[in-house]
Amino acid sequence: MSISQEEVKQIEQSKQNPMKNIKILSVVINMSVGPSEDRLNRAIAVLTKLTGQKPSIRRAKKTIKEFKIRKNEPIACIVTIRGKKAEDLINRLFEAVNRKLKSASFTSYGNFSFGIKEYIDIPGMSYDPSIGILGMDVAVNLGRPGYRVKYRKRRSSKIGKNHLITKEEAIEFIRNKFNVVIE
């Protein structure tokens, strides 16, 4: 995957313009466990231990008989981390995947996600026999200064095409900041 001269110019401009600096807006960790309330409680314990925050419980949107899931039944838990704590956490989570990601994990808008098969792969987490082995999905949202105009309640507006993060810029940011190998 080679970078064109135009993309090199954009990267150089981002070094000069502080509004072009990329930052981590949020890290969302999701653990879907199915209809079992016992497994859900164990997943909540893992996320609380990992993040120090109380996870939010997610419910099923519709009934799926094959999986024995009923509508409005709690089936997952999720936690969102922002700020400096998000950067520290994502650094630990990259250790769980040996600092390797696939380029297919990145979206065209620069966000990316990956999965962790066992929570015990994360540094600082130890195996607890009462919890067992559980995996999780991690989604990372990248942004630039000024992205707030898209989400604010009053006078929200679109973000300009030149200000959006491309897939290549996101890959370069993760490569440089966290020393992650992108395959």
38-73 pLDDT tens trace: 889 999 998 999 999 999 999 889 988 888 888 888
128-165 pLDDT tens trace: 787 788 889 999 999 999 888 888 899 999 988 888 99
Q: Where are the domains of the chain?
A: 22-182
80-132 pLDDT tens trace: 999 999 999 999 999 999 999 999 999 998 899 999 998 888 888 888 787 78
Q: Cα(122)–Cα(94) distance, rounded to whole angstroms?
A: 8
Q: Cα(140)–Cα(28) distance, rounded to whole angstroms?
A: 6
Rg of the chain, C-alpha, whole Å: 19
- Residues 140, 111, 39: CA angle, nearest 5 degrees: 40
Which residue type sits at 95?
E
Q: Cα(14)–Cα(59) distance, rounded to whole angstroms?
A: 41
**What are the φ and ψ backbone dihedral angles of 52, each rounded to 5 degrees?**
80, 10
Give the pLDDT confidence score for residue 44 in this predicted structure. Answer: 92
Q: Cα(111)–Cα(170) distance, rounded to whole angstroms?
A: 7
Confidence of residue 1 (pLDDT cuts 50, 70, 90): low
Q: What number does CATH give the domain 22-182?
A: 3.30.1440.10
**Which 8-state DSSP code applies to residue 106?**
B
